[in-house]
Amino acid sequence: MTDRGRRVSTQAKLIFWKEVEYVTLNKMNFLKNEAVVIGIILTLFTASVLIGVSQQIQSKSKNGDSLLKSPKKIGLIYLYGPISMDGAPSAFSPNTAESVIETISEFTKNNTIQALIIRVNSPGGTVGASQELYSEIIRFKKETGKPVIISIGDVGASGAYWTALAGDVIFANSGSMVGNIGVIMSNLNFGEAANKWGVKMNTLKSGPYKDILSSWRDMTSEDKKILQSMIDDVYDQFVTVLAKSRKLSYEDAKTLADGRIYTGNQAKQANLIDYTGTFSDAIDYTKKRVGIKGEVEFVTSDTPPFQEFLQLWKRHSSIAFNIPSLFNSTEAPSLK
């Protein structure tokens, strides 16, 4: 390489390292400024939370209460939509039986909860899921000794009413649909349509009743006998729970359990519910029963501490920042 070539190479290297130095210094200055901004935001963030907590303490102190005393609370669960164990919550079924059971289990461990209100707006669902909900409510009552109040909105029927029977007291509006006590099983039969269009279903089975609910053939008399015995067994379980919960004789309970739907007024007259009243009436009753005066604090789920921290800041902060919806608390579910 010539001397001229060496000089050009050396100059190029110097220019390169000058560029590296320039970019590095600018990046460090940027990070330094960014750190200052983040520090200011965190300082304001912390101050706003402390102010909010201070305001809450002062507000509670005026009523002779304190945040440190773990004020009495009421657990609130919404049982909306068809009841089933499987699947994830959706707009049509906001909470599965499993999610409700999990929440009840959380409430069992929460010593600040003095009572549990379950708001029901459901036409029913599967037998197993309804039984598990019923059993979990009974377990909550036995382990905590705390009352469970049921409030029926538009409808509390079939499996939803079975679940409601676990409560200590049942409220329903005078025009609510209540009851529909019974068991049903059905299936479609495409046999004639299939024959008309020359469609055939080939079935291989391990036993004569493996395809007992097949839509491609007529039920045999033996099929119907087996299925009816299942229906009768589950129905007997339902009537037994009804009689025990509502303090009825088995025969009186069976008379009421003919599948019909009752209005809230009719249900009250038949001793299927305790009171006709609104959701607010159920809340007032619960507060009085556990000795809560004034406004009540509801617990709707086991909220992680960090999420509570963010919710508290959002309520009290005057800083114009938006918390991402990911951290927003879940509001009461509703059906479309």
pLDDT at residue 4 greater than cutoff 80: no
Could you please report the per-residue DSSP string of 55-79? Answer: HHHHHHHHTT--GGG---EEEEEEE
The 10s digit of each residue's pLDDT in 166-196 is: 999 999 999 999 999 999 998 888 888 888 8
- The b/e string for 19-29 (b: 16+ C-beta within 10 A; e otherwise) is eeeeeeeeeee
How many residues are there in the chain?
336
Q: 0.85 cut: is pTM over it?
A: no
Confidence of residue 296 (pLDDT cuts 50, 70, 90): confident
Of 93, 158, 176, 245, the catalytic one is: 158
The answer on pLDDT for 214 being more than 70 is yes
Contact 159, 179 (CB under 8 A): no
In the set 27, 210, 225, 288, the catalytic residue is 210
At 131-163, the pLDDT tens digits run 999 999 999 999 999 999 999 999 999 999 999
Domain boundaries of the chain, sorted by first residue: 70-180+260-302, 187-250
Domain 70-180+260-302 has CATH 3.40.50.2000: no
Our answer to whether residue 210 is catalytic in this structure is: yes
